[in-house]
C-alpha cells in the first residue's frame, strides 16, 4: 500500500516535471492543454513583446486550442539548421539536451514531397500561403523596379535563406556583390529605413509585419524572379505521426477556422495580407491520396 | 593603457608569490606546462605537452608487460546525463581531473578513484550545440582547472574544492556560440577558440589572463575582421575581401572549434579553422581565407605569422580544425627540420615546415579520396577533381548526386593522433567512408522554403570503417594499420614502451605494438570509448586512464553508418588501469 502511494506520487511528480510530452487527442483533452511549439524571435508570427507572447501564429495557436476546447501552452523555440531538425527537437523526439516535445508545431511546410521525407510526423491543417517578395525604397529604385536595379543598388537578405542563395546566383552573379547579409529581417528593415540598403528580398508575411509602420517611400511588392523555382509555399501544422486522432482533430478545427474567416481576421488584425493555402505548391503536388486541403475562404 | 598593463604584471607577480608561499607544490607553473611532455608524474596539458604529441617517455608498461595491465578503479559520472565522453583527463598533485558531457567536471584521487569534488555547470535553456554535448578537457594553471562550456563560457575552478574562481563569457550562446574544446595555457595566458553551428559566426583565437580570465588579445580567423590587443585595434586579419565575394567575409565561418597547440621552439600557436559559410562553395568563389586552414599565431600579440590552407574553397565541409602536431622531421640526409604533422578531414596527411608554413609533403592516409587527385608540392595547392565538387544550388531539380570521399565526417575527425619520436611514426585514428551529396530543392528552414543539400554517409568497406594507421612522416606512407568495424572516434596515446593506445566505439581500450600494429591488450569498458587516453607514474606504478561513454557526432550524423552503431550503449565513466609493481 505504502509502496503504491510512493510510486504514484513519484509518477505524478514525473508527469508534472515533464509536461512536454506529445499526447494523443485523448491525452490532450484529459490534460486540457494543447502544447504548441512556435519559432522564437520571429515577428510578426511569434515573438515576445512587452513580456507577452504575440503574433499571428500565437493567435492561431490560441484559437486552435480554443476550438479543441482546451487551453494553449505555447513554447517558443529556436530554429535549428533545418525543419527536419526542428521537428525532431520539438515534435517527435525531443532535443538531446532535454525539454521534451509539444503536441503540435505551427509554421510547418504543407508539402507532399517534403512530408514523404519525414515519416515521423503528420503534416495537416494548411492555413497560409507564404511567398517571396521585395521591399524597396522608391527614392532609390523607383516605383517599378526590376531585379536589374540591384546590380547597382545594395539589397538586404537574411543570411542563409532562399532569398540569399537566389540573389547570390541571380543575373549571372551580378547582384552578389551588392548583397548585404543580416542575421534577421528586423535588422535588414532598419537598414532599409535608414537608407543603407535600397531593397530587401524575403518572405512577404515577415516583411509586411516588420515594416507595418513604414514611410511612404518604402513599398512592398513582388518582382519577377527568373530562375527562382519556388516562390511560395504552404504552411500548416505538424503532429507526431502516431497521434493520428489529434492530427485529424487539428486538421478539422483549422479547416473550420479558415472557412469561417478566423484565420483571415487574425492576419488582418496584424496588418498582413492573407493568402489562404488553397492548395499545396504546384511544383510538389504529386500525391493524390494526400490529406485534402480545406476549401479556402477568398 | 601601457601603465595599466605593467601594473597588472606586478599584481600577477604578487599572486604568483603568494601561491608559492602557501601551496608551493600544488600550483601548476608555466614551467610545469612547458615540461609536460618530459615529466612522467603528471599530465598538466591537453595533448600531454603543448606540442600535442601525446607521447609519454614511460616504458615500465611495454609490449612485454602490457598483458598485466589491470583495472585500478572506475569513476561513474552518474545521473542520466550520459552521451559522448570525449575528454582527455589531467593528472596533478595526486588528483585526476576529467570533464564530462553537459559541461561537468570531476576530480578524484588519482590512485584510489575516490571522488573529491564534482562541478555541474548550470546550462541555460536554448543552447544549441551542433554535435552532441561533449567536452574535450580542461587546462591546469596555478591552483585552477579551466574549461569551456556548452553555453560558451570559460570557467576556472579551484583544483582543491571545485569552487568557481572566475568565469568569463566567451561569446553569446544565444547567437549560436558554444564551446567544447580544451583550452591551453601558454605563458600565463589561457588560449581558446570558438565554436558555433549557426550562420554568422566568425572564428577567432583569444588569449586571456589565466588567473583572472581578462581578455588580452583576440584574433579573428576570417580576412577583413579587426583583431584586438589590450582592448585596442591590432590590425585586420589578412586583406579585406581579397578571397570572398560581396560581404560574405562578414559571416565567413572558419570557427576554431577544436582549440590548438603551441610550440615553444618557434614560439607559435597553431590553430585550425573550420569550413567557410555558406556551405555551398558555388556561392562564394575564391579561396575564402582563412577557412579550412592552420594559422601560426604569435602568442605575444595575436598576430598571424603564416597560414596554410588545407582545403582552399572548401565545398565538402572538410573543416581544417584537426590538430597540428610539432615534431622533428629527421631526414635521411641527417638534417632535422622543425616540422608539423596534420591529418586533415580531407584525407591527406600533411607535413609542413613549422617555421614558415611551407608544404614538405602531403599523402593520403585513407584509401579513397575523390575531391582532389593530389596536393601539388610546388604550389602547395590541391589538384581538384572538378567533376566531384558538389553542385550549385538554385535549380528546382534534384541535382546530380556526387559521391565524395572522405565524407564530411572526415578521414579523421576531432580525435587527436599521437606522434612517437622513438618510432618516428604518427598514429592516426582514420575512418574509411564517403558520402552521396546532392542539392535538395525540397527543403525548409525556419518554416521557409530553402535550397538545402542532401547527403548520406556510406561505409566504403563491408567489414570495417575505422583504421588506426601508422604514418611515416618522411615517406608519407602507411606503415601499418589496425582495422575496426565501427568508426574510430577516440584519441591516441603512444609511449616509449613501444605502445599505442586507443579506444573503440565497441567499448574497448586497446594497446598495439607501436612498430608492427599487433594488438597486444584490450579491455571492455562497458560503453564506447571516444575519449583520449593518458598515462603517468605514481609511487612507482604506471597508470593509464581513459573516459568511456559512447556519443559524439557519429550517432547524430551517421547516415548508413548509424546502423552499424545503433546498438552501442551510452555510458559515462572514467576507467583507470595500472601495472602493479609486482608485474612490471
**Tens of pLDDT, residues B500-518:** 999 999 999 999 999 999 9
Taking contacts as CB-CB distances below 8 angstroms, the residues of chain A near B175 are 183
State the residue for C-alpha cell 594499420.
B481
Mean per-residue pLDDT, A126-136: 97
Assess whether pLDDT exceeds 70 at residue B366. Answer: yes
pLDDT tier, B395 (very low <50, low <70, confident <90, very high otherwise): low
**Least confident residue range of A93-102, B23-32, B388-397:** B388-397
C-alpha cell at A140: 532609390
Most B CBs within 10 Å, among A116, A159, A171, A209, to test the B interface: A159
Please report the number of interchain residue pairs, chain A to chain B, with beta-carbon separation below 8 angstroms: 109
pLDDT tens digit sequence for B89-104: 999 999 999 999 999 9
A160 vs chain B: nearest CA distance in angstroms?
7
Q: Which residues 156-175 on chain A approach chain B with CB closer than 8 angstroms?
A: 159-162, 164-166, 168-169, 173
Q: Which residue of B has its CA nearest to A89?
A: B128
Question: Does the pLDDT value for residue B425 go beyond 80?
Answer: yes
* The CATH number of domain A130-221, selected from 3.40.190.10, 3.30.2130.30, 3.40.1160.10, 3.40.50.150: 3.40.190.10
Domains A21-129+235-284 and A130-221 share a fold: yes
In this structure, are residues B274 and B321 in contact, taking their beta carbons and an 8 Å threshold? yes
pLDDT at residue A287, as a whole number: 36
Site from B127, B128, B449 to mutate, A interface, most A CB atoms within 10 angstroms: B449
Backbone angles phi, psi at B55, to 5 degrees: -115, 135
C-alpha B439/C-alpha B455 separation (Å) is 9
**3-class state of residue A204 by DSSP:** helix
Residue with cell 473550420: A256
Burial code of B500-528, b = ≥16 C-beta within 10 A, e = fewer? bbbbbbbbbbbbbbbbebeebbebebebb
pLDDT of residue B23: 43
Instruction: Please answer whether residues B182 and B139 qualify as being in contact, where contact means their C-beta atoms are separated by less than 8 angstroms.
Output: yes
The greatest distance separating any two alpha carbons of chain A, rounded to the nearest whole angstrom, comes to 80
- Calculate what percentage of chain B has a pLDDT beyond 70: 93
Question: What band does A298 get if pLDDT is binned at 50, 70 and 90?
Answer: very low
User: Which residue from B246, B250, B394 is facing A227, i.e. has the nearest CB?
Assistant: B394
Residues 6+ apart with CB under 8 A from B279: B317, B453
Q: Is A234 on the interface with B (CB under 8 A)?
A: no
Indicate yes or no: CB of B447 within 8 angstroms of CB of A109: yes
Q: In the prediction, which pLDDT does B15 show?
A: 44
Each residue of B462-484: pLDDT tens digit?
999 999 999 999 999 999 999 99
| Upper half-sphere CA count for residue A112 (Cβ side, 13 Å) | 15
Q: Enumerate the domain spans of chain A.
A: 21-129+235-284, 130-221
A283 band by pLDDT with thresholds 50, 70 and 90: very low
Q: Is the dihedral of CA A112, A115, A119, A125 positive or negative?
A: negative
Checking if the pLDDT of A120 tops 50, the result is: yes
pLDDT of residue A185: 97
Between A10 and B390, name the one with better pLDDT. Answer: B390
Q: pLDDT tens for residues B171-214?
A: 988 888 889 999 999 999 999 999 876 667 899 999 999 999 99
Whether the per-residue pLDDT at A47 is higher than 80: the answer is: yes
Instruction: Tell me what percent of the residues of chain B surpass a pLDDT of 90.
Output: 79
- Provide the terminal-to-terminal Cα distance of chain A, rounded to the nearest Å: 62
**3-state SS assignment for residue A139:** helix
Residue owning grid cell 588545407: B310
CB B253 within 8 A of CB B202: yes
What lies within 8 Å, CB to CB, of B115 at 6+ separation is B75, B106, B107, B108
**Average pLDDT over all residues of chain B:** 92
Specify whether the backbone of B570 is left (phi greater than 0), alpha (psi in -120 to 50) or beta.
beta
pLDDT value, residue B269: 98
∠ at Cα B50 (B46, B52), nearest 5°? 70
Does pLDDT of B6 surpass 70? Answer: no
Quote the mean pLDDT of chain A. 87
Higher model confidence: residue A230 or residue B374?
B374
What per-residue confidence (pLDDT) applies to A26? 92
With a cut of 60, say whether residue B539 has pLDDT above it: yes
Average pLDDT over residues B547-572: 86
SS (H, E, C) B348-415: EEEEEECCCCCEEEEEECCCCCCCEEEECCCCCCEEECHHHCCCCCCCCCCCCCEEECCCCCCCCCCC
Q: Which residues contact B292 (CB under 8 A, 6 or more apart)?
A: B254, B273, B274, B275, B276, B309, B310, B311, B312, B314, B318, B319, B320
Q: Which of B129, B197, B250 sits opposite A181 (nearest CB)?
A: B250
**Residues in chain B, overall count:** 584
Other C-beta atoms lying within 10 Å of the C-beta of residue A286: 11
Q: Are B407 and B457 in contact (CB under 8 A)?
A: yes
Which one of the listed residues B42, B151, B317, B344 is annotated catalytic? B317
Look at residue B83 and tell me whether its pLDDT is greater than 90: no
Rounded mean pLDDT, A208-232: 94
Dihedral sign of CA atoms B342, B344, B350, B352 in order: negative
- Mean pLDDT, residues B383-389 taken together: 91
DSSP A90: I
Q: Residues of chain A with pLDDT > 70: what percent?
A: 86
Helix axes A262-269, A244-259, angle to 10 degrees: 70
Which has more pLDDT, A45 or B2?
A45
Whether B376 shows a pLDDT value over 90: the answer reads yes
Backbone angles phi and psi of A141, in degrees to 5: -120, 5
Could you write out the DSSP letters of every residue in B200-255? T-B-EEEEEETTT--EEEEEESSTTPEEEETTEEEEESS-TTSSSSTTGGGG-B--
Q: What is the mean pLDDT of residues B370-380?
A: 97
Chain B interface mutation, best of A95, A118, A181, highest count of B Cβ atoms under 10 Å: A181
- Distance from C-alpha of B45 to C-alpha of B532, rounded to nearest angstrom: 12
Rounded CA gap, B477 and B363, in Å? 7
Place of cell 496588418: A271
Q: Has B317 been annotated as catalytic?
A: yes
Local confidence band at A263 (pLDDT 50, 70, 90 cut-offs): very high
Quote the CA–CA distance of B361 and B380 in Å, as a whole number.
9
Per-residue model confidence (pLDDT) at position B25: 61
Cis peptide before B290 (omega within 30 of 0): yes
How high is the pLDDT of residue B129?
A: 73
Nearest to B442 among A107, A111, A176 (CB): A111
Q: What is the pLDDT of residue B554?
A: 86
Which residues touch A278 (CB under 8 Å, ≥6 apart)? A129, A293, A296
Instruction: Judge whether residue A238 has pLDDT over 50.
Output: yes
pLDDT digits (tens, 9 = 90+) for B129-157: 766 789 999 999 999 999 999 999 999 99
- Report the C-alpha gap between B449 and A162 in whole angstroms: 6
**From CA B32, how far away is CA B431, in angstroms rounded?**
35
pLDDT digits (tens, 9 = 90+) for A61-117: 999 999 999 999 999 999 988 999 999 999 999 887 778 899 999 999 999 999 998
Measure CB to CB from residue A82 to each of B123, B248, B445 and give the nearest one. Answer: B445
What is the SS3 assignment for A68?
coil
Question: How far away is chain B from the Cα of A27, in angstroms, using its nearest Cα?
Answer: 26
pLDDT at A230: 86
Confirm if B129 and B149 have CB atoms less than 8 A apart.
no
Q: Give domain B2-583's CATH superfamily.
A: Quinoprotein alcohol dehydrogenase-like superfamily (2.140.10.10)
A21-129+235-284 maps to which CATH number? 3.40.190.10
C-alpha cell at A130: 507564404
Render pLDDT for A149-168 as a digit per residue (tens, 0 to 9): 999 999 999 999 999 999 99
Residue A289 is predicted with a pLDDT of: 36
CA–CA distance, A28 with A70 (Å, rounded to integer):
8
Rounded to the nearest angstrom, the minimum Cα separation between B283 and chain A is: 6
Whole-number CA gyration radius for chain B: 22
Residue A14 has pLDDT above 70, yes or no: no
Report yes or no for ipTM above 0.90.
no
- Going by their DSSP bridges, the two strands B492-495 and A47-49 should be labelled as unpaired
Cite the annotated binding site of B for pyrroloquinoline quinone by residue number.
86, 136, 180, 413-414
Phi first, then psi: what are they for A4, rounded to 5°?
A: -65, -40
In this predicted structure, the answer to whether residue B404 has a pLDDT above a threshold of 70 is yes
Contacts of B127 in chain A (CB under 8 A): 97
pLDDT of B388 above 50? yes
Give pLDDT, residue B558.
67
Report the percentage of chain A scoring pLDDT > 90. Answer: 77
B288, B274 Cβ separation under 8 angstroms? no
Cα–Cα distance, B130 to A205 (Å, whole number): 29
Q: Which residue of B has its CA nearest to A113?
A: B442
Q: Burial code of B452-461, b = ≥16 C-beta within 10 A, e = fewer?
A: bbbbbbbbbe
A113, B452: Cβ pair inside 8 Å?
no
Whether the Cβ atoms of residue B280 and residue B392 lie closer than 8 Å to each other: yes
Distance CA B110, CA B94 (A): 5
Give the pLDDT confidence score for residue B560 in this predicted structure: 80
Shortest CA distance to A124 belongs to which of A230, A242, A255? A255
Amino acid at each position: 500500500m505504502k509502496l503504491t502511494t510512493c510510486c504514484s506520487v513519484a509518477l505524478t511528480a514525473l508527469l508534472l516535471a515533464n509536461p512536454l510530452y506529445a499526447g494523443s487527442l485523448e491525452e490532450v483533452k484529459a490534460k486540457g492543454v494543447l502544447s504548441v511549439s512556435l519559432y522564437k524571435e520571429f515577428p510578426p508570427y511569434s515573438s515576445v513583446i512587452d513580456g507577452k507572447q504575440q503574433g499571428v501564429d500565437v493567435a492561431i495557436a490560441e484559437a486552435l486550442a480554443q476550438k479543441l476546447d482546451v487551453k494553449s501552452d505555447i513554447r517558443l523555440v529556436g530554429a535549428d539548421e533545418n525543419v527536419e531538425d526542428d521537428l525532431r527537437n520539438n515534435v517527435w523526439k525531443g532535443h538531446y539536451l532535454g525539454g521534451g516535445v509539444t503536441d503540435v508545431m505551427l509554421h510547418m511546410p504543407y508539402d507532399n514531397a517534403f512530408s514523404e521525407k519525414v515519416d515521423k510526423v503528420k503534416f495537416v491543417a494548411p492555413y497560409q500561403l507564404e511567398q517571396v517578395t521585395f521591399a524597396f525604397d522608391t527614392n532609390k529604385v523607383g516605383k517599378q523596379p526590376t531585379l536589374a536595379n540591384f546590380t547597382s543598388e545594395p539589397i538586404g537578405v537574411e543570411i542563409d535563406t532562399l532569398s540569399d542563395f537566389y540573389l547570390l546566383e541571380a543575373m549571372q552573379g551580378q547582384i552578389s556583390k551588392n548583397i548585404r547579409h543580416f542575421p534577421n529581417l528586423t535588422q535588414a528593415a532598419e537598414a532599409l529605413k535608414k537608407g543603407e540598403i535600397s531593397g530587401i528580398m524575403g518572405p512577404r508575411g515577415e516583411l509586411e509585419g516588420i515594416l507595418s509602420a513604414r514611410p511612404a517611400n518604402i513599398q512592398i511588392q513582388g518582382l519577377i524572379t527568373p530562375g527562382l523555382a519556388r516562390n511560395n509555399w504552404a504552411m500548416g501544422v505538424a503532429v507526431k505521426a502516431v497521434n493520428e486522432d489529434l492530427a485529424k482533430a487539428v486538421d478539422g478545427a483549422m479547416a473550420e477556422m479558415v472557412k469561417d474567416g478566423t484565420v483571415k481576421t487574425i492576419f488582418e488584425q496584424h496588418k498582413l495580407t492573407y493568402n489562404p493555402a488553397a492548395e499545396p505548391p504546384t511544383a510538389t503536388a504529386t500525391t493524390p491520396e494526400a490529406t485534402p486541403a480545406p476549401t479556402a475562404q477568398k | 593603457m601601457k601603465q595599466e598593463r605593467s601594473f597588472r604584471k606586478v599584481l600577477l607577480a604578487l599572486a604568483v608569490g603568494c601561491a608559492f608561499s602557501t601551496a608551493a607544490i600544488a600550483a601548476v607553473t608555466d614551467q610545469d606546462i612547458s615540461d609536460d611532455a618530459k615529466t612522467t608524474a603528471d599530465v598538466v596539458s591537453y595533448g600531454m605537452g603543448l606540442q600535442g604529441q601525446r607521447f609519454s617517455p614511460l616504458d615500465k608498461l611495454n609490449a612485454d608487460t602490457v598483458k598485466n595491465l589491470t583495472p585500478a578503479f572506475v569513476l561513474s559520472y552518474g545521473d542520466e546525463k550520459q552521451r559522448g565522453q570525449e575528454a582527455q583527463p589531467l593528472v596533478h598533485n595526486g588528483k585526476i581531473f576529467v570533464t564530462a558531457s553537459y559541461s561537468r567536471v570531476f576530480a578524484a584521487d588519482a590512485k584510489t578513484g575516490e571522488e573529491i569534488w564534482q562541478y555541474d555547470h548550470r546550462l541555460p535553456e536554448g543552447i544549441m550545440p551542433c554535435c552532441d554535448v561533449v567536452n574535450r578537457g580542461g587546462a591546469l594553471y596555478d591552483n585552477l582547472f579551466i574549461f569551456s562550456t556548452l553555453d560558451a563560457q570559460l570557467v576556472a575552478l579551484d583544483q582543491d574544492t571545485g569552487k568557481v574562481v572566475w568565469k568569463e563569457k566567451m561569446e553569446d550562446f544565444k547567437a549560436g556560440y558554444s564551446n567544447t574544446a580544451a583550452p591551453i595555457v601558454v605563458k600565463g595566458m589561457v588560449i581558446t577558440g570558438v565554436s558555433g553551428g549557426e550562420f554568422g559566426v566568425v572564428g577567432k583565437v583569444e588569449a586571456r589572463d589565466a588567473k583572472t580570465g581578462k581578455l588580452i588579445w583576440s584574433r579573428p580567423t576570417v580576412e577583413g575582421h579587426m583583431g584586438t590587443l589590450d582592448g585596442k585595434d591590432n590590425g585586420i586579419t589578412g586583406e579585406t575581401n581579397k578571397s570572398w565575394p560581396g560581404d560574405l567575409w562578414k559571416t565567413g565561418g572558419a570557427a576554431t572549434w577544436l582549440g590548438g597547440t603551441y610550440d615553444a621552439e618557434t614560439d607559435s600557436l597553431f590553430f585550425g579553422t573550420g569550413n567557410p559559410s555558406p556551405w555551398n562553395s558555388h556561392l562564394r568563389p575564391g579561396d575564402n581565407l582563412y577557412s579550412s586552414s592552420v594559422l601560426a599565431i604569435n602568442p605575444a600579440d595575436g598576430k598571424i605569422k603564416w597560414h596554410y590552407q588545407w582545403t582552399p574553397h572548401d565545398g565538402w565541409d572538410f573543416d581544417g580544425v584537426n590538430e597540428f602536431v610539432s615534431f622533428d622531421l629527421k631526414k635521411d640526409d641527417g638534417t632535422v627540420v622543425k616540422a608539423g604533422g596534420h591529418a586533415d578531414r580531407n584525407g591527406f596527411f600533411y607535413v609542413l615546415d613549422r617555421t614558415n608554413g611551407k608544404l614538405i609533403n602531403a599523402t593520403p592516409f585513407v584509401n579513397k579520396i575523390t575531391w582532389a587527385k593530389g596536393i601539388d608540392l610546388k604550389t602547395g595547392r590541391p589538384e581538384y577533381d572538378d567533376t566531384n565538387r558538389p553542385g550549385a544550388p538554385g535549380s528546382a531539380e534534384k541535382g546530380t548526386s556526387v559521391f565524395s570521399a572522405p565524407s564530411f565526417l572526415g578521414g579523421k575527425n576531432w580525435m587527436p593522433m599521437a606522434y612517437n619520436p622513438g618510432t618516428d611514426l604518427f598514429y592516426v585514428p582514420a575512418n574509411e567512408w564517403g558520402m552521396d551529396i546532392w542539392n535538395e530543392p525540397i527543403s525548409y528552414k525556419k518554416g521557409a522554403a530553402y535550397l538545402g543539400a542532401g547527403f548520406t554517409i556510406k561505409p566504403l568497406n563491408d567489414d570495417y570503417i575505422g583504421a588506426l594507421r601508422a604514418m611515416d612522416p618522411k615517406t608519407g606512407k602507411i606503415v601499418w594499420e589496425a582495422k575496426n568495424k565501427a568508426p574510430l572516434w577516440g584519441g591516441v596515446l603512444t609511449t616509449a614502451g613501444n605502445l599505442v593506445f586507443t579506444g573503440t566505439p565497441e567499448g574497448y581500450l586497446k594497446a598495439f605494438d607501436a612498430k608492427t600494429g599487433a594488438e597486444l591488450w584490450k579491455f571492455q569498458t562497458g560503453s564506447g570509448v571516444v575519449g583520449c587516453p593518458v598515462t603517468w607514474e605514481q609511487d612507482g606504478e604506471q597508470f593509464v586512464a581513459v573516459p568511456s561513454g559512447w556519443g559524439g557526432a557519429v550517432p547524430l550524423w551517421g547516415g548508413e553508418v548509424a546502423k552499424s552503431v545503433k546498438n552501442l550503449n551510452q555510458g559515462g565513466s572514467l576507467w583507470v588501469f595500472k601495472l602493479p609493481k609486482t608485474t612490471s
